[in-house]
Amino acid sequence: MKLLKAQRKVLLEWISEGLETDEINKRAAKFKPPFKVLRSQVTWYRNTRKVSLEKIKSEDDTSALKAGLALRENRVAKLQLLAERLLGDLLGEGEDDRLWLDQVKGIGSQDNYERIEYIEFNKGEVDSLRGLLDDIAAEVGERSKKQGVNLSLDLSKLTDEQLERIANGEEPLKVIANA
C-alpha cells in the first residue's frame, strides 16, 4: 500500500518509538485518513531510514525537555487543577461536603456488639490540599527558603552605652552600626 506523505511521516515517528507492526496498525486505524502497514514495510523503513529514525529520536528527546511537565507553567497548571478538584471535593455543597466524614465503628462481638456512628475531620485530604498549595507556591517562587544568619558578636568590644541599649531591646546590629 502506498502511503501519503503525512502517513509516512507518522509511521516513521511510530517506528522510532519502537512500536511493533500491530501497535502501529492500531494507531494507523485512528489516523486521518486511516491506513494499514505490513510487517515487511515496517522492516523496510527500519532498515532504509535508520539515520532519519535516530534524528527523530534525538529531536523527540530535545522537544521533551521543552514541553510537557518540564515547563514550570505546565506543572503549575496541573497542580492548580488538582488543587481545585480537591477543594471542590472538600467543600462541596450538601451531601458532597467532605470536610467532615461519617464513620462507623463496631465494638464488641456477637451479643455484645455495638455499632457506633461518628464524624471525623478529613485530615488526610486537607493535608494533601495544603501540600499541593505549598508545591504551587514553591513552583512560582512565592515560598523562599529562609536561611539564618549566624553572627557572633564580641561583646567585650562594645561600650557600656551600647550594651545598655541592647539590654533595653534595641537591635544589636543597629546599635553597632550607629557607633
Average confidence (pLDDT) over 9-26: 86
Burial 169-179 (b: 16+ CB within 10 A, else e): eeeeeebeeee
Confidence (pLDDT) at 60? 57
Task: Please give the Cα distance from 72 to 130 (Å, whole number).
Answer: 19
Cα angle vertex 32, ends 28, 35, to 5°? Answer: 40
pTM here is 0.41
61 close to 48: Cβ distance less than 8 angstroms: no
- Number of residues in the chain: 179
Q: Which of 49-58, 89-98, 128-137 has the highest mean pLDDT?
A: 128-137
Which cell is 115 given? 455499632
